[in-house]
Amino acid sequence: MEHLHRTKQGENKGHNYLGKETKNEIIHLIGSSITNNILLMMKSAKYYSIILDCTQDISKVDQMTVVVRFVQETRLDGVYDVRTWEHFLEFLPVPYSLYSTLMQVVLKFLEDKKILLCNMKGQGHDNGENMKGKKFNLQKLISDINKRSFYVPHRSHSLNPSLLNMLFPCFRQ
């Protein structure tokens, strides 16, 4: 409180640590700390699943949402506690929504965060053609590298086409 009072009175010369740069740096440091803690928990669990979804932001840039899911087991006084964790990690800008570009973005993310692709046991994506299409898609590229990474479709994305088919039968494929 004293620091704020002196800053308002003009007594603090130079840096008062109330500028937007300082605030943004503090926000960035807190976010990095939270992300690092999530990654430590995930790596201690070893196996994980990844959930990816793409959508455009207001500036028309595709953003890939990265969510990880893992199971952590702890033992305290002979009692086992098993918890499933699901955490948002990051928005990744995607220059082109081609399956090959999506794969490059995912591989770079995993490499930057030092996450092993061989420990990925599940993957979930939206219903876009580039994510889980019939021939060439992100799901297949990941499965080609890691045969044990099973694909599970997003339930929330499956609901929308079902409703459209039910309400507007003329749009059925």
Per-residue model confidence (pLDDT) at position 128 = 62
What percent of the chain shows pLDDT beyond 90?
Answer: 32
CATH number assigned to the domain covering 46-171: 3.30.420
Domain borders along the chain are: 1-45, 46-171
Residue type, 102: L
Q: How far apart are CA 134 and CA 117, in angstroms?
A: 23
Q: Answer whether residue 58 shows pLDDT above 80.
A: yes
Residue-wise pLDDT for 63-98, tens only, equals: 888 999 999 988 888 888 889 999 999 999 988 777
**Average pLDDT of span 28-47:** 94
As a whole number, the mean pLDDT across the chain is 80
Q: Answer whether residue 127 shows pLDDT above 80.
A: no
To the nearest 10°, the Cα dihedral for 48, 134, 107, 125?
-40
Helix (H, G, I), strand (E, B) or coil at 34: helix
Per-residue model confidence (pLDDT) at position 84 = 92
Ranges assigned E (strand) in the chain: 48-56, 62-76, 79-94, 120-125, 150-151
What percent of the chain shows pLDDT beyond 70?
Answer: 75
Q: Answer whether residue 38 shows pLDDT above 90.
A: yes
Higher pLDDT, 100 or 122: 122
